[in-house]
Amino acid sequence: MSNDITAQYTTLDSERVGNELHVWLDRPHKLNATDTVMLREIGDLFSSLERDHSSRVIVLGGRGRSFSVGADRSPEPDPEDPTSERGKRWQANLGRRACRSIENCAIPTVARVQGHAIGGGMCLAMSCDFRITTPATAWYLPEVELGVPLSWAAIPRLAQEIGTARARQLVMLCERINGETAANWGVAHACVDDADLDATVQAWATRISSLPELAVHMTKTTFRGYNQQHSLGDASEADADLIRVAHTDPSVAENFGLHR
């Protein structure tokens, strides 16, 4: 059955493969660039999956040539753009909410990452439990180069996943790495040739879904609990405010097309 979960969404697609749910970022004409609609829909979808007791694993991928190139610099108007200050602050937190909803999903997640995992795209991939990529895939966090702090709770998540030293190198120096380096650093769990990507992702998904379901669920919950230790000093609650302050800089606004 296809489109059973995401029929209500405009930027996502899905298909069921047995007890697996494959969710696709579905803006291939923009290399799956993220806008407020997509981020809102990701948050809504993954939050709703807490009630899905039939899926044993979720594969998150991107339609077309790329997983995601990050922020859409020329987004279409969002009909749900808030006008109140409180609403604007909520909207500025959409990326953080999307990543947290993936990270906190009770179902194990596997990211299928090809082409690009840039900025917010890399943040979405890093929110998954497992990440499979290809040698030519570009992993890159350009936020500091663009004059904004990396938000979306990405810094504590990166530090937890790959260690603070490598996280600092990626975030502060905006270092570009390929899929092989991503696998060596722990950003990805495996790097395989493009022709082998689907088979490898399927093998990981099959392995996860073949294990005793309750034990997998409880183990993921345990890891999630330990990860909360990293959040004790997590300043990402202020992400929305940091983003809005950064966008008051005229050069930053120009970078993100806010003067259109």
Determine if the pTM surpasses 0.75: yes
Instruction: State the average pLDDT over residues 69-86.
Output: 88
Question: What confidence score (pLDDT) does residue 1 get?
Answer: 35
| Percentage of residues of the chain with pLDDT beyond 70 | 87
The total number of structural domains in the chain stands at 1
Share in percent of the chain as helix, strand, coil (round to 5): 50, 15, 35
* Residue 130, in any domain of the structure: yes
Q: Is the pLDDT of residue 146 over 80?
A: yes
* Residue 6, in any domain of the structure: no
Position with higher pLDDT, 92 vs 245: 92
Nearest to residue 65, comparing CAs of 25, 122, 23, 36? 25
What is the dihedral angle through the alpha carbons of 111, 57, 152, 113, rounded to the nearest 10 degrees? 10
Domain extent, residue 107, equals 12-195+213-255
Q: Is the pLDDT of residue 32 over 90?
A: yes
Token pair of 73, please? 């610099």
- How many other C-beta atoms can be found within 10 angstroms of the C-beta atom of residue 228? 10
| Percentage of residues of the chain with pLDDT beyond 90 | 75
* Residue 200, in any domain of the structure: no
- Give the least confident one: 35-44, 160-169, 170-179, 235-244: 235-244
* Residue 203, in any domain of the structure: no
Q: For position 57, which CATH number holds?
A: 3.90.226.10
* Residue 22, in any domain of the structure: yes
Q: Is the pLDDT of residue 189 over 90?
A: yes
* Residue 206, in any domain of the structure: no
* Residue 4, in any domain of the structure: no
Burial class (CB in 10 A: 0-12, 13-18, 19+), 229: exposed
* Residue 69, in any domain of the structure: yes
Question: What confidence score (pLDDT) does residue 258 get?
Answer: 55
Question: What confidence score (pLDDT) does residue 2 get?
Answer: 42
Question: What confidence score (pLDDT) does residue 89 get?
Answer: 85
Position with higher pLDDT, 225 vs 18: 18
